[in-house]
Structures are given as structure tokens and as C-alpha cells.
Structure 1
Amino acid sequence: MRYSSQVKPISYLKAHAAEVLTQLSEQREPLVITQNGEAKAVLQDVASYEETQETLALLKILALGNQDVEAGCIRPVAEVVARLRAKRSMA
């Protein structure tokens, strides 16, 4: 996705805030806000933000798992399944 088509100065945001919010929710594309010709912020709709946060959380879990594998902190699947079944039968 190219963000160059979704760049607006802060003055545009101030003058068209409601329109910008409508576009964000309909198009689901982030908007780069500039100030004095420099990119200063990125606006996105809430649904996209939540999806991004969920994706980052999953990537963090994967990275932690990879660190555990590299550190040798692994167990055979059969052992883990047996332990889970034992806990389940106790509850």
C-alpha cells in the first residue's frame, strides 16, 4: 500500500475533520498528517487499529516461542498433552 496518496496537511484535518473520519472508516486506509511539510502523525480507523494490535500481539507470542525454541525450552508434544489431560481430570 502506498501512503503517498493518503497524505494531508494538518490544516486539511482541522477544516475537514468529520469528512476525514468518515473516509477513514469507509476506506480503512491510514492517513498521514503533515505539519510544515513533514510527516507527524498517522490516523486510522478504530477497527484497523484493533486488528493491528491483535496482529502485533500474535507476532510477539510467536517471537517469544521462537526464543524458547532457540533456548532449548521445549517439551515433547505427548508429554504436554498428558500433563494437560491430567490437570483436566483433576478439575
Structure 2
Amino acid sequence: MRYSSQVKPISYLKANAAEVLTHLAEQREPLIITQNGEAKAVLQDVASFEETQETLALLKILALGNQDVAAGKVKPVAEVIARLRAKRSDD
């Protein structure tokens, strides 16, 4: 995705806030806001933000899993299943 078409100055945001919010919700593309010609902020709709946060959380879980594998903190699946079955039959 190219963001060059999604760049607006802060004055545009101030003058067209309602339109910008509608556009964000419909297009689901982020909008880069500039101030004095420099990128200062990125606006995105709430649904896209929530999806991004969920994706980041999953990536963190995967990274932690990879760290455990690298550190040797793993057990064979057969062993784990056997332990779970043993616990279930104790109940």
C-alpha cells in the first residue's frame, strides 16, 4: 500500500474532520497528517486499530514461543498429552 496519496496537512484535518472520519471508516486506510511539511501523526479507523493490536498481540505470543524453543523450554507433545490425560483421570 502506498501512503503518498494518504497525506494531508493538519489544516485539512481541522477544516474537514467529519469528512476525514467518514473516509477513514469507509476506506480503512490510514491517513498521515503533516505539520510544517513533516509527517507528525497517523490516523486510522477504530476497527483497523483493533485489528492491528490483535495482530501485534499474536506476534508477541509467537515471539515468546520462539524464545522458549530457542531456550529449550519445550516438551514433546506426547508427554504433555499423557500428563493431561493422567490429570483428567485423577479427577
What band does the TM-score fall into relative to the shorter chain?
A: over 0.9
Residue 54 (structure 2) pairs with residue 54 (structure 1): yes
1:40-85 per-residue CA deviation (whole Å, 9 max, x = no partner) reads 0000000000000000000000000000000000100011122233
TM-score (structure 1 length as normaliser): 0.93
Structure 1: how far apart are the matches of 2:89 and 2:21? 52
Map 1:26-45; keep pairs closer than 5 Å.
26-45=26-45
Letter in 2 for 1:23: H
RMSD: 1.3
TM-score (structure 2 length as normaliser): 0.93
% identity of equivalent residues: 87
Structure 2 unaligned spans of 5+: none
Number of matched pairs: 91
89 and 19 in structure 1: CA distance in 2 versus 1, 3 angstrom threshold? farther
23 and 59 in structure 1: CA distance in 2 versus 1, 3 angstrom threshold? same
